[in-house]
Amino acid sequence: MGPVSDAADRAPALLPAADRALVRTVDGLDDEAWAAPSLLPGWTRAHVLAHLALNAEGLAGVLDGARRGRPQPMYASAEARDGDIEDLAAAGPAELRDRFLASTTRFEDALAAMRDGDWTGRFERTPGGPEFALANVVLMRVREVEVHHADLDAGYAAEDWPEGFRTLLLDSMTRRSYPAPFVVRPTDLDGTWAYGEGGGGPVVTGPSAAAGWWLTGRGAGEGLTSDTTELPEVEAW
């Protein structure tokens, strides 16, 4: 399966430290800080934390279902997911903090209960929606934790991502669709990453954190340069 499979194998080792760092940030927010804007348009920090809590609960449910032989989707529907985020974001800092911390523990427990034979198969994001490999659940979660931690704009940024996560993110994003091929050559990591079908295309250089941030559709490519003077087109993650 290539880079995504390798990244999925590496993700479990990265998740505990990512969770601890996020919990430290959350614990450092005063009540007023929760209502401040995040870096995601239209979302406060409370929205981001509500999303992270519901994502952990949804993925924990996926793992529980797989372990019991009763597959279940992450969310009941896209509308239910969006509504639940809005409701939880409005619940107040104390309730949201408790729900977030409980969801992190719930995911950890669900992950610890998985057996080797439980990881086969796929699951749906919503009933009838896109399917994902169960083997990629931890990869999905660690990306959510690290990227949205930076989205909080609360003292943790892409530049704070550990090297292992920066490499994992560059690897895993190679499997997305892009309008045209291009290459990323980080100035602080060994290696070159190819994106899009067909190979070749512009060569993008700069710090790996800046490249990962840009590949998720964030910012305008600050800190990056292209040998064609214009950065390739990428979509929001």
Query: What value does the mean pLDDT take over residues 78-100?
Result: 97
pTM over 0.85: yes
Q: Are residues 68 and 154 in the same domain?
A: yes
Q: Are residues 69 and 150 in the same domain?
A: yes
| In-domain check, residue 182 | yes
Q: Are residues 156 and 182 in the same domain?
A: no
Instruction: Report the number of distinct structural domains present in the chain.
Output: 2
Which band of pLDDT confidence, cut at 50, 70 and 90, is reported for residue 1?
very low
Give the residue numbers spanning the domain of 209: 176-226
Task: Name the burial class of residue 169, with classes exposed (0-12), middle (13-18) and buried (19+) by CB atoms within 10 angstroms of its CB.
Answer: buried
Which band of pLDDT confidence, cut at 50, 70 and 90, is reported for residue 235?
confident
| In-domain check, residue 155 | yes
Q: Are residues 26 and 123 in the same domain?
A: yes
| In-domain check, residue 146 | yes
The DSSP-derived string for 89-113 is HTS-HHHHHHHHHHHHHHHHHHHHH
Query: How does strand 182-186 pair with strand 203-206?
Result: parallel
Which band of pLDDT confidence, cut at 50, 70 and 90, is reported for residue 2?
very low
Which band of pLDDT confidence, cut at 50, 70 and 90, is reported for residue 173?
very high
Q: How far is CA 148 from CA 153, 160, 218, in A?
A: 9, 13, 11
Q: Are residues 119 and 36 in the same domain?
A: yes
